[in-house]
């Protein structure tokens, strides 16, 4: 009898968590502990390849990518097409972030809920038709609570309809080089589709693109929040936000078809990494795999910003020009990803011409800067002229001669260049 009562009470608690009602409050939380069907397996035919990796991969597919350079540091079945579940929402959030950054919309904009958005199932904030929320509130609901109704409404607000937004999602994916991705909705719900598919590599690409919008981490790093004056509680299903040092996001996803997925990003010092895990058999496996990949990356790599010795770059002599020399634009060097301990093997080589014949156009290439690691070129930049220099004609030459005779100077007396 006691065992029956225990099982009964446990069932009641589980039902409350599933429908999102705890202590009278609606808690928006993606059902990350969904019981996967017995047919679901996180193993793959070439799973032995995972044993060759430096960490244990408990998933169908995984990728570790450097956010700054897009370089892949570790991969396992990176191009296998799989259901992404709510990790789909990274693209939805990216398009919202781009609309905000371009000032097409603002976070303060008020949006009235459509019947279509209100009808979405799964994780939700129970929007009612006609209910008004700000873009900020809808974004919090989408990012933190993985709310399907909020995500759909944001898409409708940006594009005018859900169908138009889906087209925008696929077009943006193509622009980013996500060649193995096809979206059929803004949410990741897959119970009625067999072709809402993407890959770990493609998810890593859009994750890196999203992280270019730094304001988005004000949402992706939040553990708990609320809406409707505290009546609706938001709980982030990305446990790494709370338990893994440097976590910056991004998104979990779980369905019976997809298994347990996560795109997990973290930053330590200047190194920003994203670990994508798809098709884990349970929630714990996805987080343990993501943590192992990230920790391995932070232990073995670092982000290093090389510097140019500016004393090596002098003004370039201009032959036959109205000005005798031209200044050189010195580029800012981007960070490079290197293995720890390789700092001493980094060289910055400057090649700059000593003179150039007029005319010189603005931003004309005058030399190069090459960054090498162990004698291998990893990046290259142009050294260009800071201004234009016109060619000297006979009249100009006579003026220069007169200026030299009168003032002892060889410059063109009416030089209009910015050299």
- Summarize pLDDT for 256-275 with one digit per residue, the tens: 999 999 999 999 999 999 99
pLDDT of residue 10: 43
Gap between the Cα atoms of 145 and 143, Å rounded: 6
CA 375/CA 79 separation, integer angstroms: 32
pLDDT digits (tens, 9 = 90+) for 212-235: 999 999 999 999 999 999 999 999
Q: What percent of the chain has pLDDT over 90?
A: 77
Residue 408's Cβ-side half-sphere holds a number of Cα atoms within 13 Å equal to 0
Tell me what percent of the chain is helix, strand and coil, each rounded to the nearest 5: 35, 25, 40
Average pLDDT over residues 201-211: 98
User: Sheet containing 365-373: which strands, arranged edge to edge?
Assistant: 328-329, 376-385, 365-373, 346-352
Enumerate residues 6+ apart whose C-beta is below 8 A from 99: 105, 158
Mean predicted lDDT score pLDDT of the chain: 88
CA–CA distance, 346 with 304 (Å, rounded to integer): 10
pLDDT of residue 8: 44
Same topology between domain 20-301 and domain 310-407: no
Fold of 310-407: Peptidoglycan synthesis regulatory factor (PBP3), Domain 2 (2.60.410)
User: Using 50, 70 and 90 to split pLDDT, how confident is the model at 75?
Assistant: very high
Half-sphere exposure of 136 (CA within 13 A, CB side): 10
Average pLDDT, stretch 66-88? 96
Catalytic residues: 86, 89, 146
User: Is it the case that residue 365 has pLDDT exceeding 90?
Assistant: yes
323 — pLDDT class (breaks 50, 70, 90): confident
Q: For residue 402, what pLDDT band results from cuts at 50, 70 and 90?
A: low
Residues 135-151 have a mean pLDDT of: 97
Query: For the domain bounded by 20-301, which CATH number is listed?
Result: 3.40.710.10
- Spatial contact of 240 and 259, defined as CB atoms under 8 Å apart: no
Domain boundaries, the chain: 20-301, 310-407
Residue 44 has a CB neighbour count (10 Å cut-off) of 18
Structure tokens at 114: 């459509």
């Amino acid at each position: 009898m006691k065992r029956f009562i225990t099982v009964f009470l446990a069932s009641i608690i589980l039902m409350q968590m599933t429908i999102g009602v705890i202590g009278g409050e609606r808690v928006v939380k993606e059902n990350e502990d969904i019981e996967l069907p017995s047919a679901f397996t996180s193993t793959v035919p070439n799973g032995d390849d995972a044993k060759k990796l430096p960490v244990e991969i408990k998933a169908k597919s995984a990728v570790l990518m450097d956010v700054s350079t897009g370089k892949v540091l570790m991969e396992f079945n990176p191009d296998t097409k799989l259901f992404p579940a709510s990790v789909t929402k990274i693209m939805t959030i990216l398009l919202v972030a781009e609309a905000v950054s371009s000032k097409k919309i603002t976070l303060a904009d008020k949006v009235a809920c459509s019947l279509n958005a209100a009808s979405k199932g799964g994780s939700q904030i129970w929007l009612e038709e006609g209910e008004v929320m700000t873009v900020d509130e809808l974004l919090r609901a989408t990012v933190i609570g993985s709310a399907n109704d909020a995500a759909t409404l944001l898409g409708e607000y940006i594009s005018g309809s859900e169908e138009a937004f889906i087209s925008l999602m696929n077009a943006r994916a193509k622009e980013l080089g996500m060649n193995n991705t096809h979206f059929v909705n803004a949410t990741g719900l897959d119970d009625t589709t067999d072709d809402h598919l993407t890959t770990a590599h493609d998810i890593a690409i859009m994750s890196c693109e999203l992280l270019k919008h730094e304001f988005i981490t004000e949402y992706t790093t939040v553990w708990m929040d609320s809406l409707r004056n505290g009546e609706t509680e938001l709980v982030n299903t990305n446990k790494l936000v709370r338990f893994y040092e440097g976590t910056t996001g991004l998104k979990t996803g779980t369905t019976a078809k997809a298994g347990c997925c996560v795109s997990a990003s973290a930053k330590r010092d200047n190194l920003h990494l994203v670990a994508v895990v798809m098709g884990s058999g349970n929630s714990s496996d996805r987080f343990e795999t993501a943590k192992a990949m990230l920790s391995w990356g932070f232990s073995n790599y670092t982000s290093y910003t090389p510097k140019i010795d500016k004393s090596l770059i002098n003004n370039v002599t201009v032959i036959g020009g109205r000005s005798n020399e031209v200044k050189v634009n010195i580029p800012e060097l981007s960070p490079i990803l290197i293995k720890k301990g390789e700092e001493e093997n980094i060289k910055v080589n400057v090649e700059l011409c000593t003179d150039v014949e007029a005319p010189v156009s603005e931003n004309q290439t005058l030399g190069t800067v090459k960054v090498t690691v162990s004698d291998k070129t990893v990046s290259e930049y142009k050294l260009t002229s800071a201004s234009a220099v016109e060619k000297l004609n006979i009249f100009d030459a006579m003026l220069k001669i007169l200026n030299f005779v009168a003032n002892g100077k060889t410059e063109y007396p009416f030089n209009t260049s910015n050299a």
